[in-house]
Amino acid sequence: MAVTTTKPGTDRRPTSMVDRFSVVLVALAAVMWASDTYFRAQLIPPLGRLTASQIVVVEDALITLFLLGFLIRGWSEMRRLGRNGWIAIALIGIGPQAVATVLFTQSFSYHHFAETFVLQQTQPLIAILLAWLILGERRRPWFWPAAALALIGVYMVVFAQDLGAPLSDLQHGRLEAGLFALGAAALWASGTVLGRLVLGSLSFQTTTALRFALALPVLILILFWQNGSGAFSHYQVSYLFPFLGIALVPGLLALLLYYRALASTPASLATIAETAYPVAATFIASAPPPYGFSQPLYPAQFAGTALLIAVVLILNWTKERVPPVVVAKDEAA
């Protein structure tokens, strides 16, 4: 697939407030994703009875329903999408949306939150590598210490009580939860890069709608494969509020905001902003039940949060005006 970008030095000023503050808005979308920690806790044991696939398939079905209008309206865009574009959007639906969400929910169900969130910090590193290989993004030298500071800030937040906790936990038989989290991180990292690629040909609304619509049949297959004849068992009326919460806040609204902001943000910058997710999730976990897990807060967590916010603001202020990746017209038809 031929990919073209504006030559370095081309003046490409932001056309709206979203473009101007796109890195910050990617971080805001990541904060919204963190609200799923509260909603999912009400569905998995000990509070609920659902498996990871049972949760994710309903979440995806609800969001697909909410986005049906965008899906119909985007038909003309989809007809112009080339073969490679369809491959990219299909990979987003199958990997980052379907499989990664199941893997993360499965990791979360072990209640070993340290492993889940520390291994998510590999996501920016994977995404930066993929952005270099697939999109040809090149960052200036000052970017690397900024990225390192962001990851240090996230680590300080997640492991403020004991900075050596991940190494200790992984040595005591918690590898399974960690591997699920690592797989989710790798797939989500690919989603950032592929999403940046697809947004050169599709609007952010159509991209969001296709992500969920294409994932739905895959999720249904996973559901039956894991649960057999009991695939749709254990659902209760009391689960309606958590499901609507997941579908509307970390799902529908967060993904629409994310893809709109990603259209104006290089993937290597967006992936750093996405580390706001584990930070927000940690603070949500500090709330009292049923809203959180009453985890104590430490001074290092506030320092780490301030460090991450500073890096996100600096990246937004200094970001290069990299245009969205576009597919050459002769291959997009």
pLDDT per residue as tens digits for the range 46-89: 666 787 788 889 999 999 999 999 999 999 999 888 888 899 99
173 found inside a domain: yes
Decide if 231 is inside a domain. yes
Collapsing DSSP to helix, strand or coil, 3 comes out as: strand
**How far is 33 from 31, CA to CA, in rounded Å?**
5
Cα end-to-end distance, the chain, whole Å: 12
* Contact of 87 with 327, CB cutoff 8 Å: no
> How would you class 174 by CB atoms within 10 Å of its CB: exposed for 0-12, middle for 13-18, buried for 19 or more?
middle
Residue 136, domain member (yes or no): yes
Is position 15 within any domain? no
* Res. 312 pLDDT band, cuts 50 70 90: very high
> Residue 174: which pLDDT band, with cuts at 50, 70 and 90?
low
In a domain, 2, yes or no: no
Report how far residue 211's alpha carbon sits from residue 22's, in angstroms, rounded to the nearest whole number.
Answer: 21
Closest to 176 measured CA to CA, from 218, 115, 256: 115
pLDDT of residue 94 exceeding 80:
yes
Both tokens assigned to 145:
């210490």
Q: Which of 146, 152, 61 has its CA nearest to residue 101?
A: 61
pLDDT recorded at residue 233: 81
| Contacts by 124-129, CB closer than 8 A, 24 or more apart | 124/150, 124/151, 124/189, 124/271, 124/272, 124/274, 124/275, 126/185, 126/186, 126/189, 126/190, 127/189, 127/190, 127/192, 127/193, 127/267, 127/268, 127/270, 127/271, 128/267, 128/268, 128/271
The confidence score (pLDDT) of residue 83 equals: 86
pLDDT tens for 196-206 read 989 988 999 99
Winning range, highest mean pLDDT, from 93-97, 159-163, 164-168, 207-211? 207-211
Does 6 fall in a domain?
no
Check whether 112 has a pLDDT greater than 70: no
Question: In a 3-state reduction of DSSP, which class is residue 87?
Answer: helix
Confidence (pLDDT) at 329: 39
Asked if residue 61 lies in contact with residue 215, where contact means CB atoms within 8 angstroms, the answer is: no
19-33, 152-166, 228-242: least confidently modelled range: 152-166
- How many folded domains does the chain comprise? 1
What range does the domain containing 157 cover? 24-332
In a domain, 211, yes or no: yes
Domain assignment present for residue 253? The answer is yes
pLDDT of residue 22: 93
Helices (H), the chain: 17-20, 22-33, 36-41, 52-66, 68-73, 75-79, 83-92, 100-108, 113-119, 122-130, 143-158, 165-170, 175-198, 204-227, 240-246, 254-262, 267-273, 276-285, 299-318, 329-332
Alpha carbon 324 to its chain's center:
19
Mean of per-residue pLDDT scores for the chain: 81
Q: Decide if 220 contacts 57 (C-beta within 8 A).
A: yes
Query: Length of the chain, please?
Result: 333
Q: Determine the pLDDT at residue 1.
A: 38
Residue 168's pLDDT band (boundaries 50, 70, 90)?
A: low
